[in-house]
Structure 1
């Protein structure tokens, strides 16, 4: 089995869509003329490799199965983004061929759900002290890399976003469960909140909740 790049006139998968009902997903697409089977690849979005050796879990799926099931049905579990690629399947002189499409119309991404990250910021200050002590607690459903989150400090009020104050990185990853971080000292009029370092990327994987 080998990949070949699509050329003008090559059979191409088009109209790839998905429908979700709880954790059940159905993929549908338009079959090109003369193609009676496809290979469906499932992998975590962002993974890449040449060939199936290091890629998802390829599955041969026939037009007859598609018709009987009104599409391709699978379950979506866990968290993160799952990518499906549907390759037109042909028999070549040297064996089976899978058509790679540069237009990526044969690829679709689906959110498998977001893991919850709860956090709280506790502070203590003395009447005559210029500083207050702050302790952050993070409770995560799954392990979290240290560069997913940052804390932002702002004088005079709580920051509204990552850019609304001074952002600081965390120096260690977070375990699944409760993480009590070392106490820090900040100004008496400073306020702290947690944010994603990259909201567009990590907001698809996690839900950040202040408690």
Structure 2
């Protein structure tokens, strides 16, 4: 159930958020802004400005009920802001991302969120393609018919499992995802180091990581084999 409701009116001058700024810092996005003296709560909205709803409706998209499927919304207090020196969020998006901060007035019954169209409450962050670094190691005895594959993947952001697959080929490294036997990823990659479960393969088998759709995911991520 929604914990707030939108006001039909623009925020009064004394309530308006200003000085919004966003920067990246050690894998985090740090969002800061100036708090009006009377405001103790805000609603933070994060979204991809290229989403069809935003393109179609502009700022009004945020106020529409159906927008909740792509918006990240969070009520945030002045005390939390002071404790964290702003609002911090792990980088789990690529390309361009926009934040808007809206002033709130809280009562016992509800929280009222004021609209604000001045753009002084808006900050954006742009990123290059997020890097995915993959290291594959093989371990096995000289006289064994099999060897163990250890795959470690370092991701800068969360990567959905649908974006990647690995391919096994006998005799040499596969050149593309159709050049061998394809296996899907079983879980999403988290930001940081991801160590996949060991894989047992034939002594002559080689494994390589690929995008499932190079055109779609290659524009979002950079896959680096080390």
Q: TM-score, normalised by structure 1?
A: 0.52
Which one has the largest radius of gyration? 1
Q: 1:66 aligns to what? A: none
Rounded Cα–Cα distance in structure 2 between residues aligned with 1:197 and 1:44: 25
From 51, 61, 65, the equivalent of 1:53 is 61
**SS at 1:172 equivalent:** coil
Rounded Cα–Cα distance in structure 2 between residues aligned with 1:140 and 1:172: 13
**SS at 1:200 equivalent:** helix
Structure (1/2) with the larger helix percentage: 2
The runs of at least 4 consecutive aligned structure 1 residues that moved more than 4 Å come to: none
Q: TM-score, normalised by structure 2?
A: 0.49
Q: 1:30 aligns to what? A: none
1:110-121 alignment runs, 5 A limit: 112-121=127-136
Rounded Cα–Cα distance in structure 2 between residues aligned with 1:132 and 1:144: 28
Deviations 1:8-59 (A, max 9, x none): xxxxxxxxxxxxxxxxxxxxxxxxxxxxxxxxxx944354366332479xxx
The Cα RMSD (Å) is 2.9
Q: 1:187 aligns to what? A: 202
- Superposed displacement of residue 82, structure 1: 4.8
Q: Is the 8 A contact 1:155 1:190 kept in 2?
A: yes
Rounded Cα–Cα distance in structure 2 between residues aligned with 1:151 and 1:171: 11
Structure 2 gap ranges (5+) = 1-46, 71-91, 98-125
Rounded Cα–Cα distance in structure 1 between residues aligned with 2:209 and 2:183: 10
- Superposed displacement of residue 163, structure 1: 1.0
1:62-81 alignment runs, 5 A limit: 80-81=94-95
Rounded Cα–Cα distance in structure 2 between residues aligned with 1:171 and 1:203: 20
* 2:188 aligned with 1:173: yes
Distance 1:185 1:197, change over 3 A: same
Q: 2:155 aligns to what? A: 140
Number of equivalent positions = 125
Rounded Cα–Cα distance in structure 1 between residues aligned with 2:155 and 2:138: 21
Deviations 1:94-120 (A, max 9, x none): xxxxxxxxxxxxxxxxx8520011011
**SS at 1:48 equivalent:** helix
**SS at 1:147 equivalent:** helix
Rounded Cα–Cα distance in structure 1 between residues aligned with 2:48 and 2:159: 20
